Amino acid sequence: MSGVSLLNKTEIRKTLLKQRRGLSASKKKQYELQMLNSLWTWDVFKEASIIHIFLSKADEPETSQIIELAWKSGKQIGVPCVLPDTLELFHSQLNSFEDLRPGALGVLEPSPEQRTALTPESFDLVIVPGVAFDRQGGRLGYGKGYYDRFLDQSLAFRLALAFDFQLLETVPTEAHDVPMDGILTENGIFYCGDSQT
């Protein structure tokens, strides 16, 4: 990795995470409602039986409403669990928010006794977190590579979830970065690269 690329990624992360933290609660709520409305009328979401989704941190687009919508539609939900001292994710079915506890990185995940394993191959749709994205499908994550390793094993539609300001002209990517098929922002769903229709 070149020094320029490293600096670029660091600067992008710093700038966008600051911008995300600065989003007012009312704007955030409005944007999340718009995202939810786009999602529930979208064919890929409607046809998916098993959806993998992250459990959002405070400044990320809220995912609990998406999970509730999926449950009401009779879908199964899988969520990531970080396995301590590894860079791998364990994928567990989620049946109730009451099963959640703070995990290794402080993010909510099902408590170990409530976990039911799901395989990466079982998902129809994966809703992916990140810091920045571009319309070619480029994704800049948080720097640990958990999702790239997971997405490499899945044939599911890969949908990034982000606010519109996280959508950049170009995001620096490397050979191992797995591209997104689409991006959901408050302005709707955009198809990326080869997935464009």
Q: Among residues 61, 67, 63, 65, which one has the least CA distance to residue 23?
A: 61
pLDDT of residue 194: 66
Residue 1: pLDDT band with limits 50, 70, 90:
very low
| pLDDT of residue 155 exceeding 50 | yes
Range of 179's domain? 3-195
Reduced to 3 states, what is the DSSP secondary structure of residue 189? strand
Total domains present in the chain: 1
How many CB atoms neighbour CB 87 within 10 A?
Answer: 11
Mean pLDDT of 131-153: 92
Percentage, residues of the chain above pLDDT 90? 80
pLDDT of residue 196: 53
CATH number at 78 reads 3.40.50.10420
Q: What is the distance between the alpha carbons of residues 159 and 147, in angstroms, rounded to a whole number?
A: 12
Q: What is the distance between the alpha carbons of residues 19 and 16, in angstroms, rounded to a whole number?
A: 5
Q: What is the distance between the alpha carbons of residues 104 and 83, in angstroms, rounded to a whole number?
A: 7
pLDDT of residue 4: 44
pLDDT of residue 6: 54
| pLDDT tens for each residue of 98-121 | 999 998 788 899 999 999 999 999
| pLDDT of residue 126 exceeding 90 | yes
